């Protein structure tokens, strides 16, 4: 008998650990273990917890069709979850435990601990690089070192992709079902304990067919317009697939295969742009693997540690609540707070505003996003925030500071997105929608005045960054 421990890989098709465990037609038991205390420490968003919870019931059906039962447990921490897997391996007389790797520091430590415990019992932990198409260490420069800049990483990645095309694999039904013995009562039911707070994720379907249909529909109907439309938040121009990639209901191989399906090279601009976004996800996963300090709240660039942050709690609260007085920032934050998702262009705008208009430590924003996002993935979230903070690998230069007014005017020119999320600005004409403080009837609006002056804050930020870099160079 083999055990498959599922974590961020909540699917049956194209699941490396599951497929390997089922080779030879051995009976297989799948297990999922909730860890609310560790989730709390990791700022897991309640909407993502609900998304996982709902997906587990669909996953259970998919596994049952393969004659694989799904056991469910709840413990407090990662360490206890590893202990539970060891307990199962002993009780079920499992020959091996199969897992797909996660690259964050706490996750790798958990799996190393599991490996040691199983090894002491003469049992084997089988680990697979399933989260990426190409595992960390397989896309490197001529010196054998990992890439620190995205563009050459992408070039090497695509070269490798041309040599090793992706072929997602489907799972097959096993000949017999495993005997659960004393654990028969631990199959997932509506009464199973799931004590982590949940916020409804119902707007995201969790049935496997619906997920596949969404992937196909995007690639059949929308991807060709992706490059032109993806930056405009009032337009439905993105794939909406990031939540499924985050919890592993879809694999990146499945997405890449669909992008390339029956396509000749070079790809269209829309397909190439979406493919680049998939490769960005891989890039950040590789960075997380090679740089454990990223999982410890440290800047990728050493001088980032010398930055001086203001930490004004009133301003932070205004940013979180969407009350900064800058319409595009406030509309974006309201979208996040009410839906658990934010348009990618807006993620950059609000991050830049928090860091470079309010001089707030990027880690504050990073944690808040994780606590709200249905698609909160540590590597991508950290990479995005450090990019905006100019402290990360391949981050924007520190002197590039988004102007929230001009960003709004460029990407929401008619104010459609702003008016949807901030109805109190509905009567403001297009000319002033991103600068309502210039509107003649501004006093009749129940909308905040700007909490800072962007031009003045920009100068403060430039000085702060220059001082940090100079201090590091001097030392």
The neighbouring-strand residues paired with 32 are: 6, 72
Find the catalytic residue in 280, 319, 341, 387. 280
CA–CA gap between residue 17 and residue 101 (Å, rounded): 9
Tell me, yes or no, if 319 is annotated catalytic. Answer: no
Q: Is 377 annotated as a binding residue?
A: yes
Q: What is the DSSP letter of 146?
A: B
Q: Is 401 annotated as a binding residue?
A: no
C-alpha distance from residue 227 to each of 75, 239, 240, 275 (Å): 44, 12, 15, 11
Is residue 3 classed as helix, strand or coil in its secondary structure? strand
β-sheet with 96-100: strand ranges across: 70-74, 28-34, 2-6, 96-100, 124-128
Find the catalytic residue in 344, 403, 409, 467. 344
C-alpha distance from residue 244 to each of 198, 218, 374, 377 (Å): 17, 14, 9, 11
CA–CA gap between residue 261 and residue 277 (Å, rounded): 17
Q: Is 375 annotated as a binding residue?
A: yes
Q: Is 242 annotated as a binding residue?
A: yes
Tell me, yes or no, if 95 is annotated catalytic. Answer: no
Q: Is 229 left (phi over 0), alpha (psi -120 to 50) or beta?
A: alpha
Q: Is 283 annotated as a binding residue?
A: yes
Q: Is 54 annotated as a binding residue?
A: no
Q: Is 447 annotated as a binding residue?
A: no
CA–CA gap between residue 465 and residue 461 (Å, rounded): 6
**Backbone angles phi and psi of 225, in degrees to 5:** -100, 0
Q: Is 439 annotated as a binding residue?
A: no
Tell me, yes or no, if 277 is annotated catalytic. Answer: yes
Find the catalytic residue in 106, 309, 409, 467. 309
Tell me, yes or no, if 382 is annotated catalytic. Answer: no
Q: Is 278 annotated as a binding residue?
A: yes
Tell me, yes or no, if 437 is annotated catalytic. Answer: no
Q: Is 248 annotated as a binding residue?
A: no
Find the catalytic residue in 74, 80, 95, 277. 277
CA angle 57, 375, 54 (to 5 degrees): 15
Tell me, yes or no, if 15 is annotated catalytic. Answer: no
Q: Is 244 annotated as a binding residue?
A: no
Q: Is 239 annotated as a binding residue?
A: yes
Q: Is 284 annotated as a binding residue?
A: yes
Looking from the CA of 164 toward its CB, the CA atoms found within 13 Å total: 10
Q: Is 240 annotated as a binding residue?
A: yes
Find the catalytic residue in 362, 366, 387, 464. 362
What sign does the CA torsion over 362, 367, 373, 379 have?
positive
Find the catalytic residue in 5, 303, 319, 385. 385
Q: Is 280 annotated as a binding residue?
A: yes
- Contact call for residues 302 and 472 (beta carbons, < 8 A): yes
Report the binding-site residues for FAD.
226, 238-242, 274, 277-284, 375-377
Report the binding-site residues.
226, 238-242, 274, 277-284, 375-377
Catalytic sites, residue numbers? 277, 280, 309, 344, 362, 385
């Amino acid at each position: 008998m083999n055990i498959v421990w599922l974590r961020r890989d909540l699917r049956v098709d194209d699941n490396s650990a599951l497929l390997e465990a089922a080779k030879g037609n051995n009976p297989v038991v799948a297990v999922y273990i909730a860890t609310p205390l560790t989730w709390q420490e990791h700022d897991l968003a309640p909407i993502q917890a609900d998304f996982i919870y709902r997906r587990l019931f669909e996953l259970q059906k998919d596994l049952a069709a393969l004659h694989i039962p799904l056991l469910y447990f709840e413990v407090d921490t990662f360490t206890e979850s590893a202990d539970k897997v060891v307990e199962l391996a002993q009780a079920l007389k499992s020959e091996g435990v199969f897992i797909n790797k996660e690259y964050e520091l706490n996750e790798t430590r958990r799996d190393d601990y599991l490996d040691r415990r199983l090894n002491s019992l003469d049992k084997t932990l089988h680990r697979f690089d399933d989260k990426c198409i190409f595992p960390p260490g397989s896309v490197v420069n001529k010196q054998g070192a990992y890439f620190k800049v995205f563009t050459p990483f992408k070039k090497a990645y695509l070269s490798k992709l041309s040599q090793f095309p992706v072929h997602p694999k489907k799972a097959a039904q096993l000949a017999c079902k495993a005997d659960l013995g004393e654990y028969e009562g631990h199959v997932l039911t509506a009464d199973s304990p799931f004590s982590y707070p949940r916020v409804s994720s119902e707007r995201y379907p969790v049935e496997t067919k619906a997920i596949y249909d969404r992937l196909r529909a995007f690639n059949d109907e929308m991807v060709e317009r992706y490059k032109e439309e993806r930056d405009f938040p009032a337009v439905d121009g993105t794939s909406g697939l990031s939540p499924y990639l985050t919890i592993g209901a879809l694999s990146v191989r499945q997405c890449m295969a669909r992008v390339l399906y029956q396509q000749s090279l070079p790809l269209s601009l829309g397909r190439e742009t979406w493919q680049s976004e998939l490769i960005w996800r891989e890039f950040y996963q590789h960075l997380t693997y090679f740089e454990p300090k990223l999982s410890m709240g440290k800047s990728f660039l050493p001088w980032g540690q010398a930055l001086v942050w203001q930490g004004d709690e009133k301003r932070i609260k205004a940013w979180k609540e969407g009350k900064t007085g800058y319409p595009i920032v406030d509309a974006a934050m309201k979208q996040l707070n009410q839906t658990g998702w934010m348009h990618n262009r807006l993620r950059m705008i609000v991050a830049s505003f928090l860091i470079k208009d309010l001089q707030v430590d990027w880690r504050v924003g990073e944690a808040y996003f994780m606590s709200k996002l249905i698609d909160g993935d540590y590597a991508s979230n950290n990479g995005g925030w450090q990019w905006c903070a100019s402290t990360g690998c391949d981050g924007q230069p520190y002197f590039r500071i988004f102007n929230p007014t001009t960003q709004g005017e460029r990407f929401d020119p008619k104010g459609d997105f702003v008016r949807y999320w901030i109805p109190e600005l509905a009567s403001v004409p297009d000319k002033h929608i991103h600068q309502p403080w210039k509107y003649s009837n501004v006093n009749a609006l129940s909308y905040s005045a700007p909490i800072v002056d962007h031009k003045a804050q920009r100068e403060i930020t430039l000085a702060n960054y220059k001082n940090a870099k100079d201090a590091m160079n001097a030392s």
